[in-house]
Structure 1
Amino acid sequence: MSSSTIFRPSSVSQEEMLELIDKFNRDRNISGLLVQLPLPEHINERAICNAVAPEKDVDGFHIVNIGKLCLDQRCMIPATAAAVWEIIRRTGLETVGKNVLVVGRSKNVGMPIAMLLHSDRKHERSGGDATVIMAHRCTPLPRLKELARLADIVIAAAGVPHLITADMVKEGAAVIDVGINRMQDPVTGKSRLVGDVDFEAVKEKAGFITPVPGGVGPMTIAMVMKNTVTAAKNAPTY
């Protein structure tokens, strides 16, 4: 597998980006294509994501792939959501009938994670058959704590450092941290990465927990590569 990175300045026009994507869509030597988000404010993110051919959309952001995901059909699953699903599967965590709290409702992460976990495991695209609740920035903190304490699996994807604390997690729950936040270390003064979970405190109560950095991040990269292999296998041979 080989890859190329195409850099453009933040002043790039939407028309130029669409032309580049169209060029790569038509290139039979390219199996997968993704656009690094977020984009500059003057560019319509949805228009760009929808310009990528669905069969080459290894990020799983095209409206066709999102629609198929919501209908439990086989599709390119957004890589971060696929990473969380893969971690749950490889850990052997039971999801059927379990309570899952997804903190964060982004269209690229929170929403597809919730779709994977609540959907029917007997459908074309197997799901988790879990009882899923989504919380977000409009969920009051006291209510978030109540919901988290009921959850067998907590998935933190809100982009708020150390939002999930030990008093919010029930004993033995699985905690999957999707957050990547940069904070200044009060001791060293240096910048460091932390998740949405207070890892050191929560790890004492959780049955399973993923670290930041590590955990979901490397698995997300692996899922992008998996999607690329799938795209290559499904590419027309003409």
Structure 2
Amino acid sequence: MSTMSGKVALITGAGGGIGRATARLFAERGARVVATDVAEAGLEETAALIRDAGGEVTTLRVDVANEEDVARMVETTVSTYGRLDYAFNNAGIVGAQAPLTELAEADWERVIAVNLKGVFLGLKHELRQLAKQGTGGAIVNTASTAGVVGNPNIAAYTASKHGVIGLTKVAALEHARAGVRVNAICPGVIKSPMTDGFSGGDAAELMKDVQPVGRVGRAEEVAELVLFLCHDAVGYITGQAYIIDGGYTAQ
């Protein structure tokens, strides 16, 4: 029997890429999944994949930058399944790509709203629920290698992901004694619609040669890291940012 049988996992940005892969893996390991996204078509495709494989999933359209949506997301999770055990705050956008001096204020605010405020709101409402339950839990936030190194022309994205790591540390410290662990992941170039947006095409082909391992990552590899960080067997890990980038930032 899977160690996650009977557990409840909440995932944002589950309509594709890393979010979809992680939702599917949680379900495969026996968790009941609440999959959320603003992209409803992608979300329904994720749900179909989970159900076809025999998993249990509930879908919900959620804009993570809207607190009413986020509060409803957690409330729906609890009203549907009775509890919350794991949360993966993964929703994010690349946003406009331009030199800092040419970045429009509206573009800056949109990226910060989704990538940073969205994680803040997720943590706020998820942590409240976990505190109410008093049974511990694990939360993973999606940062990026752009959360640990600088990247030209994506100032808002880079700032937002640095901020996610800071939020992760604060949340971990505030809730450590309650048995709630909060960690971040920092993916490098992962084959997904988002990274294709960075490169304007096929990221795997355009970027594989500059990766030390000679390829870009797979969403399924990142999903394995998320579930590892949720596992009770690693209960001493909290407040950390795990880089998964094929060695790129080791250079």
Query: Under a length normalisation based on structure 2, what TM-score does the superposition of the two structures give?
Result: 0.38
More helix by share: 2
Which structure has the larger Rg over C-alpha atoms?
1
Query: Under a length normalisation based on structure 1, what TM-score does the superposition of the two structures give?
Result: 0.40
